[in-house]
């Protein structure tokens, strides 16, 4: 995984910029929850997180609402795409499961290709530096 820059968020928590294509498990759940909370409420403290990565009950309605297209082009590899409302502008995500591909696609459509994730959600990434960045 390519590590990007470390920083502090508005709550004073240490964050690490991660490419959306590398988000998995807790970090991906955090990013999807951030997108969903913004979609619903507009203001989120980063603490309420749902399981979108393994629970179709959470991710299925989101995939349906956002009209995310999921494809299985080869063994162990899924692709997801969604149209962003402008001619020839799409969001794209890939992953080992259809949910991971779809959730990466969704996060990329809302937050761009990289996202600053609080370091406590990066335990899935042993090569990430969990120490607070120096200021």
Residue 130 placed within a domain: no
Pairing between β-strand 77-83 and β-strand 90-95 as defined by DSSP bridges: antiparallel
Instruction: Give the Cα separation of 114 and 91 in Å (integer).
Output: 13
**pTM confidence score:** 0.79
pLDDT at position 8:
62
Residue 97, domain CATH: 3.30.2120
Q: What is the pLDDT of residue 7?
A: 64
Residue 126 forms part of a structural domain: no
Total count of domains within the chain: 1
User: Range of 69's domain?
Assistant: 3-121
Q: How far is CA 51 from the centre of its chain?
A: 12
Task: Output the pLDDT for position 44.
Answer: 59
pLDDT at 57 over 60: yes
Residue 133 lies in a domain: no
The verdict on residue 127 lying in a domain is no
All residues at 6 or more sequence positions from 127 whose CB lies less than 8 Å from its CB, including other chains:
1, 3
pLDDT tens sequence across 69-102: 999 988 889 999 999 888 878 899 999 999 999 9
């Amino acid at each position: 995984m390519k590590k990007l820059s470390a920083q502090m968020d508005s709550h004073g928590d240490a964050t690490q910029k991660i490419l959306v294509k590398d988000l998995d498990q807790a970090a991906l759940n955090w990013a999807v929850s951030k997108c969903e909370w913004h979609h619903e409420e507009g203001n989120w403290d980063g603490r309420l997180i749902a399981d979108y990565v393994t629970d179709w009950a959470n991710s299925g309605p989101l995939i349906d609402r956002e009209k995310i297209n999921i494809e299985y082009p080869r063994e162990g590899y899924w692709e997801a795409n969604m149209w962003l409302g402008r001619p020839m502008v799409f969001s794209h995500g890939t992953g080992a499961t259809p949910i991971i591909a779809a959730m990466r696609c969704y996060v990329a459509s809302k937050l761009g290709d990289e996202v600053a994730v609080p370091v406590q959600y990066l335990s899935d990434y042993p090569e990430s530096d969990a120490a607070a960045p120096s200021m």
